[in-house]
Structures are given as C-alpha cells and as structure tokens.
Amino acid sequence: MYSRIKVQPLAGALGAEIFGVNLSAEFDSTTLEEVTRAYSEYQVIFFRDQDVSDRDLARFAHNFGELAVLPPHRQHPGSLPELLVIDKKPDVGLVFGWEWHSDTTHLEIPPLGSVLAAKILPPVGGDTMFANQYMAYDTLSNGMKSMLEGVNAVHSNGRILASLEVDDVLAAGQGLGTGHTTLSAVHPVVRTHPVTGKKALFVNRMHTERFEDMSIGESAPLLNFLYEHSTRPEFTCRFRWQPGSVAFWDNRCLQHLALDDYPGQRRLMHRVQVRGTKPV
C-alpha cells in the first residue's frame, strides 16, 4: 500500500506514526502522495526524530495549502508571521489548549489542519489526545442524526479571551484591555469533509456557545451531551511527545486536548496552520 513510507497505526480509532520521512527536505511527488493519503486515512499523523527549523515546518505545511498568518497579538517577535510559539513556562498555570477543541472554530474559515513540533518537553507528561469526529457522528442514533441535520451552531473565542491575561503565549504587556475582539462564526453542527465526503460532528466545548436561534441555556443540555459523546475513550488516541516529534492533524474531523499534568515544568512547542475552507 505504501512504497516510500512506513505507516504504524497508533490506536484503533485514529492516528499513525510515519517513518521514512525527513521533514527538513523537499518531498518527491510519490512521498507527498503517500503522506497525504496516510493523513486522510488516519486524521492525525506523527513523525519522530525530526530536526526541523521553523522554515522547515512551514515548508512541510505548505504542501497542503496556504498558511494562515497569525493576528499581531499572537505573533512572536522575530519569527515567521505564521508561527505560533506555545511556551508553557514553569511558573504559569494555564496550559494552552486545555479543553477538548478544534482549532479556532470561531473564525469564518477555520484551519484545514495544524502542524506542531516539540522543542522543549517536561521529563514526563504533556501528552496530546485526539478524538475522531467521524466516529462521533457515525455512532449517533438515526434519530439524533436526523435532528442535527441542517442545524447550525455559534462558535466564539469568548472563553479564550477570558484566559488571555494569564496566557503566556501573548506578547509581554498585552491583556484584555488592549483591543482584543470577541469573534464569532456560525457553522453546521454536522460538517461534510471536503476531501473524504464523510460527515463529522463539528462542535467543541472550547468554542461552541449555542445553537443558532437558541439561547445558551436552551442549547446547553444537548451540547453537553455532544461534547461528552464526541470524546468517548474509544474514539481517541494519545500521543507521547519526544524531542524531535512533529504532529499534523486534520482540524476538520477531529478534536484534541493538551494534557495538564506537568506542573512546574516547561513545555515549548512551535505550530503553523494551513488555511481551510468554509465548513459545509
């Protein structure tokens, strides 16, 4: 099935480690086709022992589309405008990505996917978990699927903004009073993947506020059920980071969670995102 790369599944639900690839070099067309196929099949793929610069990371991500430029308050001085530096220092309590979520779904066009590279890791802990949203949708009852068909939900960055004053990803001296804007977007609760054509559940606890044309209180019971259902253990995989590890996940059909289990330790990660398309 694969001639240029070796693919080792990580769990029954999703995820695979890819071997035989050097992310600091250009891909030939066959290698790129096989990596793309593995990405589509497993939703999140992992690479070990990669010595990558930030430009290497950006070049790899660019194989899959245009990169998303960060807003000014997220940019790191002196780095690429597309590079997000996630630096959890020992004296900071907040862990970036602490809840199950899909990245930046409060935007009208959320990213296709994210590429994350480990730079500095705690001695133990700091794993990332992923949940397959194809499976989350497929295992709903026919009645629930019918009820959710054509329903939209409002996504917002309000919960993120509430944490910014203690989020050390921000540039020094910035806080809630410096003009950060609450952004929101409306997306279908059930999304059709633009490549595979499969349906995926597309709500998440971090960003989804309510159903369209409903109040937060009215929406909460069903949304809470969907949040719990979408991250059932049998839908997940867990990745243990090592120095040189890189992950590339499909934001259109999975959620992820950064585990907060390394108090007093530093964890430094570099991330770029690939621009997506409007969810339908």
Of 103, 167, 205, 267, catalytic: 103
Of 101, 191, 193, 205, catalytic: 101
Q: What is the CA radius of gyration of the chain?
A: 18
> What whole-number distance in Å separates Cα of residue 105 and Cα of residue 73?
18
- Residue 229 falls in the annotated catalytic set: no
> What whole-number distance in Å separates Cα of residue 212 and Cα of residue 153?
5
Of 106, 252, 256, 267, catalytic: 256
13 touches 236 (CB < 8 A):
yes
> What whole-number distance in Å separates Cα of residue 64 and Cα of residue 182?
29
- Residue 256 falls in the annotated catalytic set: yes
268 touches 157 (CB < 8 A):
no
- Residue 271 falls in the annotated catalytic set: yes
> What whole-number distance in Å separates Cα of residue 111 and Cα of residue 271?
12
- Residue 127 falls in the annotated catalytic set: no
| Residue showing tokens 């009215």 | 218
For 139, the token pair is 């295992």
Of 193, 207, 267, 271, catalytic: 271
**Alpha helix stretches (DSSP H) within the chain:** 29-42, 54-62, 133-138, 142-148, 158-161, 216-230
Catalytic residues: 101, 103, 256, 271
